[in-house]
Structure 1
Amino acid sequence: MTVGTESAAGLPPVEYAVAVERYLAAAGLADGSRRIYRIALNTWAWALADRPAPTGPERRRARPPVLPLALLDHPDAAERLRAAAARRGADTDPRTLNRELSTLRAAVAWWRARGWLAGDPTADLLLRPLPAPAADAGPLGPEELRALFALRAPLREQALWHLLHESGAPIETVLALDTDHLDLPRRRTLPGYAALHWQSGTARLLPLLIAGRAGGPLFLTDRRAPAGTPARDRCPHTGRARLSYRRAAELLTLHTRPLGHGWTLRRLRPGPPRSNHHP
């Protein structure tokens, strides 16, 4: 087939960013998933350019460097990605990093299947997956909780952590709450919704978090909701989206990094009450 008869969309892309968009377009992803995949793939662009990737909110807004897709076939591409994975591992939890690595591996496999790449610089990363958090890690102890609640974290994070601990509810249930589900004076949810009760720490923070919002998600992202976000997951007052499990987990890891490893949202739920019986 000559160039004249081949569509422009079928030509091998020169730029990494174009290859990313071709992969995302063919993957059949929902808008929210496509945005998450794009952020992950853009992160590795910084590694290929030998530049540190932005972190936190800046990571989502930063424009990645322009670079050729052929850099993935460079002899040192695998080493650059290994070094970047090590740096990224210091900034996020292993589960998130493994997901980002899987996204890159899937994209590279798709590009190779089309003949756009000759080699696979992610092969070594695939052979050495990063460990996931220990499944049997127990609830945080009293000293850990005191350290957590003493952090200078934003109101949203502190309210979420207190509510998770005091209610003992699953994280998915808490993130699904809307502001009009709450009975603030009685420190509980209204009848007809998931039955949650909380204590003084949460009771002190929730009115400040809501700040007059009469409806919409209780816990919101920092940014406006992307196009296509369902109305139930968008605040009618601010236009921001419902906070996701993934982002809530990232924020806990970010804020508790100085306190040690193993800080996951599920560990905020209280453990079983201690028995006073002594055999």
Structure 2
Amino acid sequence: MTELPPVEYSLAVERYLADSGLAEGSRRIYRIALSTWAWALADRPAPTGPERRRARPPVLPLALLDHPDAADRLRTALTRRAADTDPRTLNRELSTLRAAAAWWRAQGWIDGDPTTGLRPLPLPEPAEAAAPLAEDRLHALFALRAPLREQTLWHLLHESGAAIEAVLALDTDHLDLPRRRTRPGHTPLRWQSGTARLLPLLIAGRATGPLFLTDRRAPAGTPAADRCPHTGRARLSYRRAAELFTAHTRELGEGWTLRRLRPGR
């Protein structure tokens, strides 16, 4: 007999965790994270400290995730908790909610994704780990035999000086290639000759969709805004971009962070 779709948020959480294949310890951590987001959806501050584990989350209909202001409630909670919560913890909990919402959409239990537009918080870095790269190291970096996607991203980050999150959020139709800038109405970015040479090669045949794409097709439930309509691949994530940069720069003797690509003063 087919199970009926869950009406209540906490039951949907348990059904997701039961299907996740996670070990019991990991399921417990995921359960705490997803329960914490229930307070945000109820527009109430989440308990902190030891009380967080013992508090019973509010009873909510799962359909609340499709409410027009669900994303705003989550964004407000993210901002509020960022004042006194480690960004790694918040990013991990946001990733947990995003994965659960994708699974619920795949089951047909919800229609939208309230986490769309919520970006991971930047992680603090030691000053020496975030220092801009010297010219000789930049030359060595751009001389690496790295894929076109990586080289384009690295050049654009360096030449624009823009936040990594803003660059990864770009779509191909945001670009004004002849003027070497983004079109009006989008995050204002400008770039130079290195990026200008690479961008047309990167977007060849793609008029819309995310600028930087993953290597594989997007998983089921990926929001349309984060999926390329031409290739079916997903928008490149901050985490994956950072992993690739660190891996490639190990060839130069050390693994660097993407923030080192910002131009020096």
* TM-score, normalised by the number of residues in structure 1: 0.52
Q: 1:269 to 1:150 in 2, by over 3 A?
A: same
Deviations 1:101-132 (A, max 9, x none): x99xxxxxxxxxxxxxxxxxxxxxxxxxxxx9
Q: 1:189 to 1:134 in 2, by over 3 A?
A: same
Q: 1:18 to 1:197 in 2, by over 3 A?
A: closer
Deviations 1:8-60 (A, max 9, x none): xxxxxxxxx95538944982579xxxxxxxxxxxxxxxxxxxxxxxxxxxxxx
* Partner of residue 237 from structure 1, selected from 220, 230, 253: 230
2:250 maps to which residue?
257
Q: Tell me how far apart the structure 2 counterparts of residues 247 and 213 of structure 1 sit (CA, whole Å).
A: 22
1:213 maps to which residue?
206
Q: 1:222 to 1:25 in 2, by over 3 A?
A: farther
* Partner of residue 27 from structure 1, selected from 14, 30, 33: 30
Shift of 1:227: 1.2
For 1:27, the aligned partner's letter is Y
Q: Tell me how far apart the structure 1 counterparts of residues 158 and 226 of structure 2 sit (CA, whole Å).
A: 24
For 2:23, the aligned partner's letter is V
2:176 maps to which residue?
183
Determine whether 1:134 maps to 2:137.
Answer: no
Deviations 1:160-194 (A, max 9, x none): 00000011101000000000000001111000101
Shift of 1:148: 0.2
Q: Tell me how far apart the structure 2 counterparts of residues 22 and 145 of structure 1 sit (CA, whole Å).
A: 43
Contact kept, 8 Å, 1:134 with 1:262, in 2: the verdict is no
Secondary structure of the 1:144 match is helix
Q: Tell me how far apart the structure 1 counterparts of residues 170 and 140 of structure 2 sit (CA, whole Å).
A: 26
Q: Tell me how far apart the structure 2 counterparts of residues 133 and 26 of structure 1 sit (CA, whole Å).
A: 26
1:160 maps to which residue?
153
* Partner of residue 196 from structure 1, selected from 157, 172, 189: 189
Shift of 1:134: 2.6
Shift of 1:207: 0.4
Structure with higher Rg: it is 1
For 2:194, the aligned partner's letter is G
Structure 2: runs of 5+ lacking an equivalent? 1-19, 35-87, 94-123
Q: Tell me how far apart the structure 2 counterparts of residues 186 and 21 of structure 1 sit (CA, whole Å).
A: 54
For 2:147, the aligned partner's letter is P
| Percent identity of equivalent pairs | 74
Secondary structure of the 2:127 match is coil
* Partner of residue 247 from structure 1, selected from 223, 240, 244: 240
Q: Tell me how far apart the structure 2 counterparts of residues 167 and 18 of structure 1 sit (CA, whole Å).
A: 42
Structure 1: runs of 5+ lacking an equivalent? 1-16, 31-97, 104-131, 273-279
Shift of 1:213: 0.4
Q: Tell me how far apart the structure 2 counterparts of residues 258 and 211 of structure 1 sit (CA, whole Å).
A: 29
Q: 1:20 to 1:238 in 2, by over 3 A?
A: farther
For 1:218, the aligned partner's letter is L
* TM-score, normalised by the number of residues in structure 2: 0.55
